[in-house]
Amino acid sequence: MILQTVRPNIVQAIRAFRVDELMSAAQDMGYHFLYANLSKAQTKPEVLEGIAQAFLFPSHFGKNMDALYDCLTDMVNKSGAQQGFIVVLEQLPDNPRFDREVREQLLDVFRDAADFWGERKIPFRCFYSFQ
């Protein structure tokens, strides 16, 4: 298993992992695989919209960090038992319109989601890369 050395509830750079390997690992473990290619996004609203579309969030998604957290946690938790999650955010913007502060805010939401699921003993691993 390619994830045996990765903590079960973490947000980290994708580094040596490949997306197709992570997808296969999710399938093998019965986990949800959530993937967003954000190469066309340049701003916070575009990133949130890209995530919402890729993750099939409901149309009433508020396109803000609180709504993102709610969609990653409470909404899914209320839908029933979960086995685990592997999330990939590929090609996050790295520009003045999506600067380090905004990127860290976004990644903090995913860290908070990892903590939420960790408290429930459900693995939530999030991997990201930058443009």
pLDDT band for position 100 (cuts 50, 70, 90):
very high
Pairing of strands 9-13, 85-92: unpaired
d(CA 23, CA 20) in angstroms, rounded, equals: 5
| Residues 38 and 91: beta-carbon distance below 8 Å | yes
Domain boundaries, the chain: 14-130
pLDDT band for position 128 (cuts 50, 70, 90):
very high
Please tell me the CATH code under which domain 14-130 is placed: 3.30.370.10
pLDDT band for position 79 (cuts 50, 70, 90):
confident
Dihedral angle, C-alpha 54, 105, 26, 57, nearest 10 °: -30
The alpha carbons of the chain give a radius of gyration, in whole angstroms, of 14
Average pLDDT of every residue of the chain: 94
| 18 CB burial (10 A radius; 0-12, 13-18, 19+) | exposed
> For residue 16, what is the DSSP state?
T
pLDDT band for position 75 (cuts 50, 70, 90):
confident
Pairing of strands 9-13, 32-37: unpaired
- 48-64 confidence digits (pLDDT tens): 999 999 999 998 899 99
| Residues 64 and 106: beta-carbon distance below 8 Å | no
At 78 the pLDDT is 77
At 21 the pLDDT is 96
At 41 the pLDDT is 97
Pairing of strands 32-37, 124-130: unpaired
Q: Would you say residue 33 has pLDDT above 80?
A: yes
